[in-house]
Amino acid sequence: MTEPIITDTPTDEARLPVAVVSPRGASRLREGHLWVYRSDTVELPFEAGVYRVQDTRGRRLGWALVNPASEISVRLLTREDAPADEAFLRARLHAAIDFRESLGIDADGYRVVHAEADGLPGLVVDRYADVLVVQNGTAALEPHLPALVEVLVERFSPRGVLARHEGRVRTLEGLPTGTSVLYGDVPDTVEVRERGTHGDVRYLVEPWRGQKTGSFLDQRENRALLGAHARGEALDVFSYHGSFGLHLAPRARHVELIDSSESALARARENMLLNGHANVTYTEANAFDRLRELEAAGRSYATISLDPPALAKTRRDLQNAYGAYKELNLRCLKLLEPGGVMATTSCSFHVSEGDFYAMVQDAAADARVRVRVLARRGGASDHPELLGVPETRYLKFALLQRTE
């Protein structure tokens, strides 16, 4: 058995195991990516942990989260030579929190740690008012979670910290899955505030059961942007718990929310009540079918949000996904009245920005409408992308206006 490198006392480094990567793996790291696949490694320690990374000529490449059992065996933490010990990990977390503070986010629901882009690969921390939700996706970081939770408690004095350790990523890392309280207590629902163009928006999050960690925080700034254009009849397609609709309702005559999840719509209803909106209807349906019905009924809308789930989960899905995205955009553009504004999104990493805009253009041509682009965006500023790691650039968002 080999010892992981993180210790409280200095160790004789020469005796410690290292991860050796192939020339291809080394080039990938030198070019700016953080991941090395197992096929591009030459030698790995037996156990997951934080280890030094070297190329086949013994040149040092930095320190990484390493897991020999994972397909992504190496996730670089730093190119620096000094050991990445627990103090280093704590400092990374402090820096992530400091960065969010510097953004002056006018909301108490936001992302505190965005994994690779915050130098903490595989780790997500979301804040919902006085509750923090943690998702860890690497075996190497798992033993250090208690230290990281200590930092979260010190900085936020939260009521509770919840681990939502779910999904295929953890299974691939050989980690158990499940939801558990790491600190304090975590209620069923938490009320969160975010700033809209027409004042504050409040919504309830279910940290134990909600999708992702409870909410789609990456669209926070985009929701407020669409809210500034809200008027007339409005549609929120793939509404989840009403996130975009809550920004449309203050100015629209009427908003229809469409989602296939009964529980999401039940919460949407509560959220609308919480904000005093009575101009909303809730349609539990397959969005593809509902859009077809609205078109057949000759309906038209001044404001539309179209925010589907990731339709391309793998590269192989790409062709079908392109068709599905195009159908949704085509139908919404047909429903949009001239002068109307539509927000359209893809959160599939496999759909490139180029593919996304080509798809929208294709849809506009088939719908025989002319659109101008009012804004091209990605995720909110608390969800930065790391240059060189395309996997961190997943959200494409366009604000379109139909001109004729």
Ligand X SMILES: C[S@@+](CC[C@H](N)C(=O)[O-])C[C@H]1O[C@@H](n2cnc3c(N)ncnc32)[C@H](O)[C@@H]1O
Sites of contact with ligand X (CB under 6 A): 211, 216, 219, 238-240, 243-244, 259-261, 264, 286-287, 307, 309, 347
DSSP conformation class of 381: T
CB closer to ligand X, 122 vs 227: 227
CB closer to ligand X, 221 vs 307: 307
CB closer to ligand X, 42 vs 310: 310
> Which residues on adjacent β-strands are paired with residue 36?
74
The SS3 of residue 256 is: strand
Which of 20, 76, 347, 359 is catalytic? The answer is 347
Q: Determine the Cα–Cα distance for residues 120 and 135; give it in Å rounded to an integer.
A: 12
Q: Which residue blocks in 228-352 are alpha helix, DSSP H?
A: 245-248, 262-274, 287-296, 318-335
Q: Determine the Cα–Cα distance for residues 53 and 29; give it in Å rounded to an integer.
A: 10
- Chain centroid to CA 193: how far? 19
Q: Minimum CB separation from ligand X for residue 206, in Å?
A: 13
> Which residues on adjacent β-strands are paired with residue 163?
134, 180
The contacts found for 287-293 with CB under 8 angstroms, 24 or more apart, are: 287/237, 287/238, 287/258, 287/259, 287/260, 287/328, 288/324, 288/327, 288/328, 288/331, 290/237, 290/258, 291/237, 291/258, 291/328, 291/331, 291/332, 291/335, 292/331
Q: Determine the Cα–Cα distance for residues 330 and 181; give it in Å rounded to an integer.
A: 44
Q: Minimum CB separation from ligand X for residue 6, in Å?
A: 37
332 is catalytic: no
CB closer to ligand X, 37 vs 208: 208
Percentage helix, strand, coil for the chain under 3-state DSSP, each rounded to 5: 35, 30, 35
Q: Minimum CB separation from ligand X for residue 41, in Å?
A: 35
- Chain centroid to CA 319: how far? 23
Q: Determine the Cα–Cα distance for residues 177 and 94; give it in Å rounded to an integer.
A: 26
Q: Minimum CB separation from ligand X for residue 210, in Å?
A: 10
Q: Minimum CB separation from ligand X for residue 120, in Å?
A: 24
Query: Which residue is at the shortest CB distance from ligand X?
Result: 243
The SS3 of residue 34 is: coil
Q: Minimum CB separation from ligand X for residue 305, in Å?
A: 7
Task: Single out the residue of 175, 178, 95, 110 nearest to residue 141, CA to CA.
Answer: 175
The SS3 of residue 50 is: strand
Q: Minimum CB separation from ligand X for residue 258, in Å?
A: 6
Q: Minimum CB separation from ligand X for residue 349, in Å?
A: 13
Residue 316: count other Cβ atoms within 10 Å of its Cβ.
10
Task: Single out the residue of 153, 146, 183, 141 nearest to residue 50, CA to CA.
Answer: 141
Q: Determine the Cα–Cα distance for residues 150 and 134; give it in Å rounded to an integer.
A: 13
> Do the bridges between strand 254-259 and strand 233-237 make them parallel or antiparallel, or are there none, so unpaired?
parallel
Catalytic machinery residues: 347
